[in-house]
Amino acid sequence: MEPGEPRVNITITVTSPANRPGKRRYPGSVTSPTSPSPGVAHADPSRADDLALALRLADAAAAASMARFDAVDLDVQTKPDASPVSEADLAAERAIRDILATERPTDGILGEEFGTSGDSRRQWIIDPIDGTANYVRGIPMWGNLIALAVDGLPVVGVVGVPAIGRRWWGAEGLGAWTDTPAGGERRLRVSAIDTLDEASVSFQSIAQWDETGHLDALIALSRRVKRDRGYGDVWPYMLLAEGRLEFVAEFGVQEYDIAAVVPIVHEAGGRVTSFEGEQTLSARSVMATNGLLHEAFLEFVHSPTPGA
Protein backbone atom coordinates (compact mmCIF):
# COMPACT_ATOMS: atom_id res chain seq x y z
CA MET A 1 0.00 0.00 0.00
CA GLU A 2 1.41 3.38 -1.00
CA PRO A 3 1.42 6.27 1.52
CA GLY A 4 -1.89 8.08 1.41
CA GLU A 5 -3.76 5.19 -0.25
CA PRO A 6 -7.11 4.31 1.37
CA ARG A 7 -7.14 1.19 3.51
CA VAL A 8 -9.37 -1.59 2.29
CA ASN A 9 -11.45 -3.39 4.91
CA ILE A 10 -13.90 -6.06 3.82
CA THR A 11 -16.75 -6.25 6.28
CA ILE A 12 -19.30 -8.97 5.77
CA THR A 13 -22.37 -9.15 7.96
CA VAL A 14 -23.60 -12.69 8.36
CA THR A 15 -26.34 -14.44 10.26
CA SER A 16 -25.24 -16.79 13.02
CA PRO A 17 -26.20 -20.40 12.18
CA ALA A 18 -28.27 -22.42 14.58
CA ASN A 19 -25.69 -24.33 16.58
CA ARG A 20 -26.51 -26.86 19.23
CA PRO A 21 -26.51 -25.76 22.88
CA GLY A 22 -23.00 -25.37 24.24
CA LYS A 23 -21.42 -24.81 20.84
CA ARG A 24 -19.72 -21.54 20.01
CA ARG A 25 -21.68 -19.50 17.52
CA TYR A 26 -20.13 -17.64 14.66
CA PRO A 27 -19.62 -13.93 15.31
CA GLY A 28 -22.37 -11.69 14.01
CA SER A 29 -19.95 -10.06 11.62
CA VAL A 30 -16.87 -11.37 9.88
CA THR A 31 -14.30 -8.71 9.04
CA SER A 32 -11.13 -9.41 7.11
CA PRO A 33 -8.43 -7.12 8.47
CA THR A 34 -6.41 -5.07 6.01
CA SER A 35 -3.75 -7.28 4.50
CA PRO A 36 -0.16 -6.08 4.14
CA SER A 37 0.24 -8.09 0.95
CA PRO A 38 0.85 -6.08 -2.24
CA GLY A 39 -2.18 -5.70 -4.47
CA VAL A 40 -4.92 -6.18 -1.89
CA ALA A 41 -5.70 -2.45 -1.86
CA HIS A 42 -6.30 -2.68 -5.62
CA ALA A 43 -8.35 -5.90 -5.56
CA ASP A 44 -11.37 -6.04 -7.84
CA PRO A 45 -14.31 -4.92 -5.66
CA SER A 46 -16.51 -7.54 -7.31
CA ARG A 47 -14.32 -10.27 -5.81
CA ALA A 48 -15.05 -8.85 -2.35
CA ASP A 49 -18.76 -8.87 -3.25
CA ASP A 50 -18.51 -12.49 -4.33
CA LEU A 51 -16.78 -13.40 -1.07
CA ALA A 52 -19.46 -11.61 0.93
CA LEU A 53 -22.12 -13.59 -0.92
CA ALA A 54 -20.24 -16.87 -0.44
CA LEU A 55 -20.19 -16.26 3.32
CA ARG A 56 -23.94 -15.66 3.26
CA LEU A 57 -24.38 -18.92 1.34
CA ALA A 58 -22.29 -20.69 3.97
CA ASP A 59 -24.57 -19.28 6.66
CA ALA A 60 -27.61 -20.66 4.87
CA ALA A 61 -25.99 -24.06 4.40
CA ALA A 62 -24.90 -24.18 8.04
CA ALA A 63 -28.38 -23.35 9.29
CA ALA A 64 -30.01 -25.98 7.08
CA SER A 65 -27.53 -28.72 7.95
CA MET A 66 -27.28 -28.00 11.69
CA ALA A 67 -31.08 -28.05 11.97
CA ARG A 68 -31.07 -31.81 11.33
CA PHE A 69 -27.62 -32.83 12.58
CA ASP A 70 -27.77 -35.87 14.90
CA ALA A 71 -31.55 -36.08 14.52
CA VAL A 72 -32.86 -39.54 15.40
CA ASP A 73 -35.41 -39.35 12.56
CA LEU A 74 -33.02 -38.06 9.88
CA ASP A 75 -34.06 -39.37 6.46
CA VAL A 76 -31.11 -40.98 4.64
CA GLN A 77 -31.20 -42.53 1.19
CA THR A 78 -28.58 -44.34 -0.90
CA LYS A 79 -27.53 -42.86 -4.24
CA PRO A 80 -26.73 -44.99 -7.31
CA ASP A 81 -23.01 -44.79 -6.46
CA ALA A 82 -23.81 -46.32 -3.04
CA SER A 83 -22.99 -43.10 -1.17
CA PRO A 84 -25.48 -41.72 1.37
CA VAL A 85 -27.56 -38.58 0.89
CA SER A 86 -29.63 -37.10 3.68
CA GLU A 87 -32.55 -34.71 3.74
CA ALA A 88 -30.09 -32.13 5.10
CA ASP A 89 -27.83 -32.41 2.02
CA LEU A 90 -30.83 -31.59 -0.15
CA ALA A 91 -32.08 -28.79 2.11
CA ALA A 92 -28.66 -27.14 2.31
CA GLU A 93 -28.16 -27.16 -1.46
CA ARG A 94 -31.69 -25.84 -2.04
CA ALA A 95 -31.02 -23.00 0.40
CA ILE A 96 -27.87 -22.03 -1.48
CA ARG A 97 -29.55 -22.26 -4.87
CA ASP A 98 -32.48 -20.12 -3.72
CA ILE A 99 -30.13 -17.30 -2.72
CA LEU A 100 -28.12 -17.56 -5.94
CA ALA A 101 -31.31 -17.45 -8.00
CA THR A 102 -31.98 -14.01 -6.53
CA GLU A 103 -28.45 -12.64 -6.11
CA ARG A 104 -26.65 -14.11 -9.15
CA PRO A 105 -29.35 -15.31 -11.57
CA THR A 106 -27.00 -15.41 -14.58
CA ASP A 107 -24.26 -17.44 -12.85
CA GLY A 108 -23.98 -21.17 -13.40
CA ILE A 109 -24.16 -23.73 -10.59
CA LEU A 110 -22.60 -27.15 -10.11
CA GLY A 111 -23.94 -28.89 -7.02
CA GLU A 112 -23.44 -32.41 -5.77
CA GLU A 113 -27.12 -33.15 -5.26
CA PHE A 114 -28.86 -31.27 -8.09
CA GLY A 115 -26.21 -31.22 -10.79
CA THR A 116 -25.40 -28.43 -13.22
CA SER A 117 -27.57 -25.48 -14.17
CA GLY A 118 -26.82 -22.42 -16.26
CA ASP A 119 -24.07 -21.76 -18.78
CA SER A 120 -21.74 -18.99 -17.65
CA ARG A 121 -18.03 -18.37 -17.25
CA ARG A 122 -18.92 -17.80 -13.58
CA GLN A 123 -19.94 -21.02 -11.85
CA TRP A 124 -20.73 -21.65 -8.18
CA ILE A 125 -19.51 -25.09 -7.12
CA ILE A 126 -21.31 -26.53 -4.09
CA ASP A 127 -20.91 -29.51 -1.83
CA PRO A 128 -23.74 -28.88 0.63
CA ILE A 129 -22.41 -31.45 3.10
CA ASP A 130 -18.93 -32.81 2.52
CA GLY A 131 -18.61 -35.92 4.64
CA THR A 132 -22.22 -37.05 4.61
CA ALA A 133 -21.12 -40.45 5.97
CA ASN A 134 -19.91 -38.63 9.09
CA TYR A 135 -22.99 -36.41 9.21
CA VAL A 136 -25.47 -39.31 9.26
CA ARG A 137 -23.51 -41.02 12.06
CA GLY A 138 -23.49 -37.90 14.23
CA ILE A 139 -19.74 -37.37 13.79
CA PRO A 140 -19.08 -33.59 13.71
CA MET A 141 -16.31 -33.59 11.07
CA TRP A 142 -18.32 -32.64 7.99
CA GLY A 143 -18.43 -29.36 6.12
CA ASN A 144 -20.34 -26.98 3.87
CA LEU A 145 -18.19 -26.25 0.80
CA ILE A 146 -18.89 -23.26 -1.45
CA ALA A 147 -16.71 -22.02 -4.29
CA LEU A 148 -16.92 -19.63 -7.20
CA ALA A 149 -14.96 -20.53 -10.31
CA VAL A 150 -14.39 -18.08 -13.15
CA ASP A 151 -13.35 -19.62 -16.46
CA GLY A 152 -12.82 -22.89 -14.58
CA LEU A 153 -10.48 -21.40 -11.97
CA PRO A 154 -11.70 -21.34 -8.35
CA VAL A 155 -11.30 -17.75 -7.12
CA VAL A 156 -13.48 -17.74 -3.98
CA GLY A 157 -13.80 -20.50 -1.42
CA VAL A 158 -15.60 -20.89 1.90
CA VAL A 159 -15.40 -23.98 4.09
CA GLY A 160 -17.59 -24.20 7.16
CA VAL A 161 -17.58 -26.97 9.77
CA PRO A 162 -20.51 -25.68 11.81
CA ALA A 163 -20.75 -28.61 14.21
CA ILE A 164 -17.47 -27.43 15.76
CA GLY A 165 -18.13 -23.72 15.10
CA ARG A 166 -15.31 -23.20 12.58
CA ARG A 167 -15.08 -21.47 9.22
CA TRP A 168 -12.31 -20.72 6.75
CA TRP A 169 -12.50 -18.50 3.67
CA GLY A 170 -10.31 -17.09 0.93
CA ALA A 171 -10.55 -15.16 -2.30
CA GLU A 172 -8.13 -14.27 -5.06
CA GLY A 173 -6.11 -11.24 -3.95
CA LEU A 174 -7.87 -10.98 -0.58
CA GLY A 175 -5.97 -13.57 1.43
CA ALA A 176 -7.16 -16.61 3.39
CA TRP A 177 -8.73 -16.29 6.82
CA THR A 178 -10.32 -18.21 9.67
CA ASP A 179 -12.35 -17.26 12.71
CA THR A 180 -10.89 -17.48 16.21
CA PRO A 181 -12.39 -18.68 19.51
CA ALA A 182 -12.50 -15.07 20.69
CA GLY A 183 -14.71 -14.09 17.75
CA GLY A 184 -12.00 -12.39 15.71
CA GLU A 185 -10.28 -13.34 12.47
CA ARG A 186 -6.79 -14.61 11.73
CA ARG A 187 -4.96 -14.65 8.45
CA LEU A 188 -3.81 -18.08 7.30
CA ARG A 189 -0.30 -19.03 6.24
CA VAL A 190 1.10 -22.44 5.37
CA SER A 191 4.13 -23.77 7.21
CA ALA A 192 7.74 -23.06 6.29
CA ILE A 193 8.83 -26.68 6.70
CA ASP A 194 11.00 -27.60 3.72
CA THR A 195 12.11 -31.19 4.32
CA LEU A 196 10.08 -34.39 4.09
CA ASP A 197 11.68 -35.64 7.30
CA GLU A 198 9.92 -32.88 9.26
CA ALA A 199 6.59 -32.99 7.41
CA SER A 200 3.21 -34.02 8.77
CA VAL A 201 0.80 -35.58 6.29
CA SER A 202 -2.83 -36.67 6.02
CA PHE A 203 -3.42 -39.62 3.70
CA GLN A 204 -7.23 -39.56 4.14
CA SER A 205 -7.98 -43.23 3.34
CA ILE A 206 -5.74 -46.30 3.13
CA ALA A 207 -8.35 -48.03 0.97
CA GLN A 208 -8.20 -45.23 -1.64
CA TRP A 209 -4.41 -45.52 -1.94
CA ASP A 210 -4.73 -49.29 -2.21
CA GLU A 211 -7.49 -49.21 -4.83
CA THR A 212 -5.50 -46.81 -7.03
CA GLY A 213 -2.29 -48.82 -6.80
CA HIS A 214 -0.41 -46.38 -4.57
CA LEU A 215 -0.36 -48.30 -1.28
CA ASP A 216 3.37 -49.00 -1.47
CA ALA A 217 4.02 -45.28 -1.96
CA LEU A 218 1.86 -44.46 1.08
CA ILE A 219 3.68 -46.94 3.30
CA ALA A 220 7.04 -45.58 2.13
CA LEU A 221 5.83 -42.02 2.72
CA SER A 222 4.70 -42.87 6.26
CA ARG A 223 8.21 -44.13 6.98
CA ARG A 224 9.83 -41.00 5.56
CA VAL A 225 7.82 -38.19 7.12
CA LYS A 226 7.66 -37.13 10.76
CA ARG A 227 3.97 -37.86 11.29
CA ASP A 228 1.12 -39.43 9.31
CA ARG A 229 -2.59 -39.41 10.07
CA GLY A 230 -5.87 -39.99 8.21
CA TYR A 231 -7.92 -36.98 9.30
CA GLY A 232 -10.35 -37.28 6.39
CA ASP A 233 -12.70 -35.06 4.37
CA VAL A 234 -12.14 -31.29 4.21
CA TRP A 235 -10.65 -30.59 7.64
CA PRO A 236 -7.01 -31.56 6.86
CA TYR A 237 -6.87 -29.10 3.97
CA MET A 238 -7.74 -26.37 6.41
CA LEU A 239 -5.09 -27.65 8.83
CA LEU A 240 -2.63 -27.38 5.95
CA ALA A 241 -3.70 -23.78 5.26
CA GLU A 242 -3.21 -23.04 8.96
CA GLY A 243 0.36 -24.35 8.80
CA ARG A 244 -0.31 -27.51 10.83
CA LEU A 245 0.18 -30.06 7.99
CA GLU A 246 2.40 -30.10 4.90
CA PHE A 247 0.62 -32.64 2.67
CA VAL A 248 -2.91 -33.92 1.99
CA ALA A 249 -3.81 -36.28 -0.84
CA GLU A 250 -6.79 -38.38 -1.80
CA PHE A 251 -8.53 -40.09 -4.69
CA GLY A 252 -12.05 -40.44 -6.06
CA VAL A 253 -12.83 -36.76 -5.55
CA GLN A 254 -15.21 -34.65 -7.64
CA GLU A 255 -14.96 -30.96 -8.51
CA TYR A 256 -17.30 -30.01 -5.68
CA ASP A 257 -15.10 -31.86 -3.17
CA ILE A 258 -12.05 -29.67 -3.81
CA ALA A 259 -13.04 -26.39 -5.49
CA ALA A 260 -13.59 -24.49 -2.22
CA VAL A 261 -10.24 -25.70 -0.89
CA VAL A 262 -8.21 -24.26 -3.76
CA PRO A 263 -8.51 -20.48 -3.11
CA ILE A 264 -8.00 -20.94 0.62
CA VAL A 265 -4.83 -23.01 0.23
CA HIS A 266 -3.49 -20.82 -2.59
CA GLU A 267 -4.07 -17.59 -0.69
CA ALA A 268 -2.38 -19.14 2.36
CA GLY A 269 0.71 -19.76 0.21
CA GLY A 270 0.19 -23.44 -0.59
CA ARG A 271 -0.32 -25.38 -3.78
CA VAL A 272 -3.08 -27.69 -5.03
CA THR A 273 -2.81 -30.04 -8.02
CA SER A 274 -4.00 -33.49 -8.98
CA PHE A 275 -1.99 -36.44 -7.62
CA GLU A 276 -0.16 -36.40 -10.95
CA GLY A 277 0.69 -32.70 -10.61
CA GLU A 278 -1.90 -31.36 -13.06
CA GLN A 279 -3.68 -28.03 -12.60
CA THR A 280 -7.22 -29.34 -12.91
CA LEU A 281 -10.31 -30.06 -10.81
CA SER A 282 -11.42 -33.00 -12.95
CA ALA A 283 -8.61 -35.53 -12.46
CA ARG A 284 -10.50 -37.33 -9.63
CA SER A 285 -7.47 -36.97 -7.38
CA VAL A 286 -5.91 -34.12 -5.40
CA MET A 287 -2.64 -33.28 -3.72
CA ALA A 288 -2.28 -30.19 -1.55
CA THR A 289 0.96 -29.09 0.07
CA ASN A 290 2.61 -26.10 1.69
CA GLY A 291 4.12 -25.35 -1.73
CA LEU A 292 7.73 -25.64 -0.60
CA LEU A 293 7.49 -29.42 -0.62
CA HIS A 294 5.13 -29.97 -3.55
CA GLU A 295 7.72 -31.14 -6.06
CA ALA A 296 9.47 -33.26 -3.42
CA PHE A 297 6.20 -35.01 -2.55
CA LEU A 298 5.36 -35.56 -6.23
CA GLU A 299 8.78 -37.04 -6.90
CA PHE A 300 8.60 -39.27 -3.83
CA VAL A 301 5.15 -40.80 -4.38
CA HIS A 302 5.79 -41.36 -8.09
CA SER A 303 9.24 -42.88 -7.68
CA PRO A 304 9.46 -46.45 -9.08
CA THR A 305 10.83 -47.47 -5.69
CA PRO A 306 9.51 -44.96 -3.13
CA GLY A 307 11.77 -44.60 -0.15
CA ALA A 308 14.57 -46.70 -1.66
Residues 6+ apart with CB under 8 A from 92: 60, 61, 64, 65, 128, 129, 144
Residue 29 has pLDDT above 80, yes or no: no
Distance, C-alpha 269 to centroid of its chain: 15
Cβ(117)–Cβ(107) below 8 Å: no
Which has more pLDDT, 307 or 66? 66
Q: How confident is the model at residue 232 (pLDDT cuts 50, 70, 90)?
A: confident
Domain limits, the chain: 10-187, 196-301
CATH topology of domain 10-187: Fructose-1,6-Bisphosphatase; Chain A, domain 1 (3.30.540)
Dist. CA 222–CA 297, nearest whole Å? 12
Full-prediction pTM beyond 0.95? no
CATH topology of domain 196-301: D-Maltodextrin-Binding Protein; domain 2 (3.40.190)
Torsion angle of C-alpha atoms 148, 156, 159, 291, degrees rounded to 10? 120
Dist. CA 82–CA 262, nearest whole Å? 27
Residue 19 has pLDDT above 80, yes or no: no
Phi, psi of 126 (to 5 degrees): -125, 130
Q: How far is CA 227 from CA 222, 237, 273, in A?
A: 7, 16, 22
